[in-house]
Amino acid sequence: MQGKATRSDDSPGACHVYVSDPAIVTAAPSPVFIRCRFHSHARGFLLSFRYLGATGMVAAMPDCQASVDDFVTKLRRRQVEGSQNTAKQTAELLRLVISNQRLPNVGQAAVLIDVVKTVGLRMIAANPIELAVGNIVRRVLHIIREEDVSLTSPAVPGVSVESDDDDSDTKSSYSAAAVAAANRSALRAPSLHNLLESIPNPVKAPEAPAASVADSESRSRSGDRNSVSWKLKHNVIEGISELLQDLENYHSQVAEQAIEHIHQNEVILTLGRSRSLLQFLLEAKKKRSFQVVIAEGAPKYQGHILSKELAEKGLQTTVITDSAVFAMISRVNMVIVGAHAVMANGGVLAPVGMHMVALAARRHAVPFVVLAGVHKLCPQYPHNPYTLLNDMKSPAEIVDFGELSDCLDVGTGGQSTYVVNPTFDYIPPELVSLFITDTGGHNPSYVYRLIAEYYSPEDYVLQ
């Protein structure tokens, strides 16, 4: 730490920390060390720290603020595409924000939650249609809450002892909240999924917190507080890194299950293109031989790209127009598609044209399987999804402006042509047979349970 700390004489009890290089502040544990060094000034410290916090924000923010601004601008300009990519960038940014954030001694979780919420809301507002942003923000909030609960619940008695401190109000109220949260988590039944699966839950870091708490309890009261503060941030950052790891691996996680679902000589139908779908099919290709029928997915025609990619790997593919799906569906054994988002009721937002495919599949009793990473799971219920959760793109993707320029709504005041270009379709849960996520296959009716597992109920509605 190259920061220079001085104690100023004119304002008693105030400590100034001058940091020569703002970049250094971004290193996660550094604030803690500063505080450790000044710890002997016990009483005046709280005051000074607040001051320090304020200046520290100013010093540290530009770097982090610039990244946030940049990402928000990109989201707004629709320059970040694809939910996986968006989710990854969101998580990375939040990790940066958290590591830059200085924490007070008390109510750390509340501060973190506050910061993440403010940044998160900005990102969500920038592109409300990209639900992955909101999902990741909620996931991070959930991580903070979980870590907080696991750290504070054993320490609750210790905190309540200090009620004579100058911050007693906030603290006691906070500790009450913490106790409540702890109780709630205790009351909540352990997830069925966790009981059945041997895979450790990536969100909860199982061993470390308990051990650290045990460690810290042996130290002095102040030392305990510091290590707790350090621990929380550290654990949260670790949690986000794990989340990022999951995001990175989710394609292969999903693809691993391919063999269980695709059998020899089957005909699979899909629409458009998604990366997890590509990997899923290629994984199955390793052991099975099957055919793929690809609906082209107007107006983006990404089906064409998918067919090329599959053909290169030696899979037999047939490209059809979107309108030929119904004619084709009777020969198909299974429909497998990618999704943009999965809503709380099990409904799916997917590229436009998918509803029609789902209806065709239902008519012919063909299983309709949706591949979706857990990051696509959104705890919101779809209300008016056709307009509110849809992205209306430029009509130029469908028709040529020049071709239509004589019958557009021009100054003639007469009738004219409207062109509507929605990006997504909403598929109601009744039409979905199975979700294949990175944590396994699930029924649409089970989605609510998955949501309870990955998000805190307080964060379902962010504001």
Partner 1 sequence: MAKKGGKPVTEIADDEVHVPLQAVLLADSFTQKFRPITLERPKVLLPLVNVPLIDYTLEWLATAGVEECFVFCCAHANQVRNHLTKAKWKSQPNFAVTVIESHDCVSAGDALRFIEQRGVVRGDFVLVSGDTVSNMSLKEVVKEHQERRKKDKLAVMTMVVKRVKPSPLTNMTRLGNDELLVAIDPQSKQLLHYDPGREAGGRDNFQHQSSSRNIILEHSALNDRPSVQLCTNLLDCHIDICSLDVLTLFTDNFDYQQIRRDFVRGLLSDEIMGNKIFTYEIGREYAARVENLRAYDVVSQDVIHRWTYPMVPDISFGGNTSGLRFERCNVYKAAGVTLSRTSTVGENSVLGQGTEVGEGTTIKRSVIGRGCRIGKNVSIEGCHIWDNVTIEDDARLEYSVVCDGAVVRTGAVLKPGVVLSFKVVIGPKFTVPAYSKISMMPQPTEEDSSDEELEYADAASGRAESPRSPFQEDGDSRDGSATGEEEEADESGNWNPDEIGDTGAGYRWSRDGGHEEDWRHSVAPVPAEKIRELIAAEEEGEIEEADNDIGAAARESAAGTGVEDGEESGEEEDDFEKEVEGTFLRLAEGVSGVQQEHVIIEVNSLKLAYNKTFSDCAGAMFKSLMNLALGAPHTSSKELLTSTKDVITKWGVLLQKFLKGSDDEHEILLTFEEVCLESHKDFAPLFSQILQVLYDKDIISEDAIMAWADEKQDADDHDKVFLKQSEPFIQWLKEAEEDDDEEEDE
Give yes or no for a contact between 333 and 322, defined as CB atoms under 8 angstroms apart: no
Give yes or no for a contact between 86 and 133, defined as CB atoms under 8 angstroms apart: yes
Interaction of residue 220 with partner 1, rule CB under 8 A: no
Interaction of residue 78 with partner 1, rule CB under 8 A: yes
Tell me the H-state helices in 257-338.
Answer: 258-261, 275-285, 302-312, 325-329
| Shortest spacing between CB 415 and partner 1, in angstroms | 12
Q: For partner 1, give the closer residue by CB, 26 or 291.
A: 26
Neighbour-count burial for 205-225, b at 16+ CB within 10 Å, e otherwise? beeebeebbeebeeeeeeebb
Q: For partner 1, give the closer residue by CB, 122 or 362.
A: 122
Interaction of residue 396 with partner 1, rule CB under 8 A: yes
Q: Which amino acid is at 365?
A: A
Interaction of residue 409 with partner 1, rule CB under 8 A: yes
Interaction of residue 27 with partner 1, rule CB under 8 A: no
Which residues have CB under 8 Å from 256's CB, separation 6+? 283
- Output the CA–CA distances (angstroms, integers) from residue 387 to 319, 349, 357, in the order listed: 30, 12, 20
Element (H, E) at 175: helix 168-187
Interaction of residue 394 with partner 1, rule CB under 8 A: yes
Interaction of residue 415 with partner 1, rule CB under 8 A: no
Q: Which two tokens stand for residue 235?
A: 């654990």
Which residues have CB under 8 Å from 183's CB, separation 6+? none
Interaction of residue 318 with partner 1, rule CB under 8 A: no
Closest C-alpha among 336, 267, 274 to residue 309: 274
Closest C-alpha among 371, 350, 380 to residue 135: 380
Site string for partner 1, 79-98 (x = CB under 8 A): x---------x--xx-xx--
Q: For partner 1, give the closer residue by CB, 60 or 371.
A: 60
Q: For partner 1, give the closer residue by CB, 180 or 419.
A: 419
Rule CB under 8 A: choose which of 402, 415, 461, 463 binds partner 1: 402
Interaction of residue 77 with partner 1, rule CB under 8 A: yes
Which residues have CB under 8 Å from 40's CB, separation 6+? none
Beta bridge partners of 7: 15
CA 143 to chain centre: 11
Rule CB under 8 A: choose which of 4, 12, 23, 223 binds partner 1: 23
> Under rule CB under 8 A, which residues in 112-131 are in contact with partner 1?
125-126
CA 156 to chain centre: 30
For partner 1, which stretch binds (CB under 8 A), given 76-84, 312-320, 330-338, 435-443? 76-84
| Shortest spacing between CB 77 and partner 1, in angstroms | 5
Interaction of residue 406 with partner 1, rule CB under 8 A: yes
Give yes or no for a contact between 382 and 426, defined as CB atoms under 8 angstroms apart: yes
Rule CB under 8 A: choose which of 21, 70, 166, 430 binds partner 1: 70
Tokens 């320090």 identify what position? Answer: 52
Q: For partner 1, give the closer residue by CB, 299 or 440.
A: 299
> Under rule CB under 8 A, which residues in 44-63 are in contact with partner 1?
63
Q: Which amino acid is at 60?
A: A
Rule CB under 8 A: choose which of 1, 7, 26, 39 binds partner 1: 26
Interaction of residue 158 with partner 1, rule CB under 8 A: no
| Shortest spacing between CB 241 and partner 1, in angstroms | 11
Rule CB under 8 A: choose which of 207, 411, 461, 463 binds partner 1: 411
What's the CA gap between 155 and 148, in Å, rounded?
11
Residues that contact partner 1, how many (by CB under 8 A): 46
The total number of residues written for the chain in this structure: 463
For partner 1, which stretch binds (CB under 8 A), given 208-216, 308-316, 373-381, 386-394? 386-394
Closest C-alpha among 391, 382, 273, 284 to residue 338: 273
Residues that bind partner 1 (CB under 8 A): 23, 26, 63-64, 66-67, 69-71, 73-74, 76-79, 89, 92-93, 95-96, 125-126, 387-388, 392-397, 400-403, 405-406, 408-414, 418-419, 421
